[in-house]
């Protein structure tokens, strides 16, 4: 029954839901007597305040169809924020999960208070092949005036937009290399990516009423010194300052590390994404009789 309900939601996350359901089916076939526990990327965001989850849409749509902001990447945000709090004692944390998919979370004392993804994983930041936030009026115009079908819109927004749409590649490493070489499309793509990232970090900070720690995680967040420096370069007014040597140099004996200028108002860290640890934590809680 649970699997059936999840399958019905595939349209909301077409890049991820089918693969997760295939894994569920494979495990059930191989180990039919073993309990299966689903750990949801939306769960961490379940305590977001009403102001953060509510769209200004007609009440009949919100109530009948459940249209609201759900958020994603919660497993990664939960681990990164918990790890940052342990390392620094920070209370007000913005976690930046940057990879092929990308989102931010504002976390206060371990509880999420805002995030950038919404009803689907399309909202928010520019991603590898996903658009991030787009004026819905532009999408309506594409349908009503340009004759673009719903199927074309879905494919374009999820699979052909983002960095791929801007630079012809979804690989940020290739975009950075192209930008360094002066390729105009890559320069624009990187500028758009960083512009949206800085703006949304500032928005998350506003939701927290200030910022104690900024955390980068995910493949891009961990691997791109250019993105980390570019994001921080526009956030000095918040107290963010990245040390160039610490940002580009190797971790000093640890996987998770600080890259901020010593004494900066905001602590800036790189934390390895470990959704697996968060999943294990949730599974242990469920097996022990907790809520997950």
Q: Which pLDDT band holds residue 291 (cuts at 50, 70, 90)?
A: low
**For the chain, what is the largest distance between any 2 Cα atoms, rounded to a whole number of angstroms?**
58
pLDDT of residue 254: 61
The residue behind tokens 């076939």 is 29
Mean pLDDT of the chain: 95
**Catalytic residue (one of 22, 25, 41, 243):** 41
Is domain 37-128+189-287 classified as CATH 3.40.50.170?
A: no
User: What number is the average pLDDT over the span 220-239?
Assistant: 97
The residue behind tokens 């295939």 is 22
Give yes or no for a contact between 219 and 98, defined as CB atoms under 8 angstroms apart: yes
Q: Which pLDDT band holds residue 251 (cuts at 50, 70, 90)?
A: low
41 given a catalytic annotation = yes
Domain borders along the chain are 37-128+189-287
Contacts of 222 (CB under 8 A, 6+ apart): 216, 270, 271, 272, 273
- Output the six-digit token pair for 221: 């967040």
The residue behind tokens 């960083």 is 194
pLDDT tens digits, one per residue of 67-97: 999 999 999 999 999 999 999 999 999 999 9
pLDDT tens digits, one per residue of 186-225: 999 999 999 999 999 999 999 999 999 999 999 999 999 9
């Amino acid at each position: 029954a649970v699997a059936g309900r999840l399958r019905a939601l595939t349209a909301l996350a077409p890049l991820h839901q089918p693969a997760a359901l295939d894994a569920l089916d494979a495990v059930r076939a191989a180990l039919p007597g073993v309990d299966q526990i689903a750990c949801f990327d939306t769960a961490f965001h379940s305590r977001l305040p009403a102001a953060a989850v509510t769209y200004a849409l007609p009440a009949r749509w919100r109530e009948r169809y459940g249209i609201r902001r759900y958020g994603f990447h919660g497993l990664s945000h939960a681990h990164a924020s918990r790890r940052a709090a342990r390392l620094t004692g920070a209370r007000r944390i913005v976690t930046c999960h940057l990879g092929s998919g990308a989102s931010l979370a504002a976390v206060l004392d371990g509880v999420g208070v805002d995030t950038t993804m919404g009803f689907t994983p399309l909202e928010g930041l520019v991603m590898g092949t996903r658009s991030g936030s787009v004026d819905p009026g532009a999408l309506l115009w594409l349908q009503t005036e340009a004759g673009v079908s719903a199927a074309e819109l879905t494919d374009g927004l999820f699979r052909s937009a983002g960095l791929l749409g801007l630079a012809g590649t979804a690989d940020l490493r290739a975009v950075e290399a192209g930008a360094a070489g002066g390729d105009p499309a890559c320069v624009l793509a990187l500028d758009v990516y960083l512009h949206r990232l800085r703006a949304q970090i500032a928005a998350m900070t506003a939701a927290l009423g200030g910022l104690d720690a900024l955390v980068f995680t995910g493949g891009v967040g961990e691997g791109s010194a250019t993105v980390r420096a570019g994001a921080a370069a526009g956030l000095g007014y918040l107290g963010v300052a990245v040390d160039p040597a610490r940002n580009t140099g190797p971790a000093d004996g640890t996987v998770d590390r600080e890259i901020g200028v010593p004494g900066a108002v905001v602590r800036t860290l790189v934390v390895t994404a470990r959704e697996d640890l968060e999943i294990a934590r949730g599974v242990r809680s469920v097996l022990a009789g907790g809520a997950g």
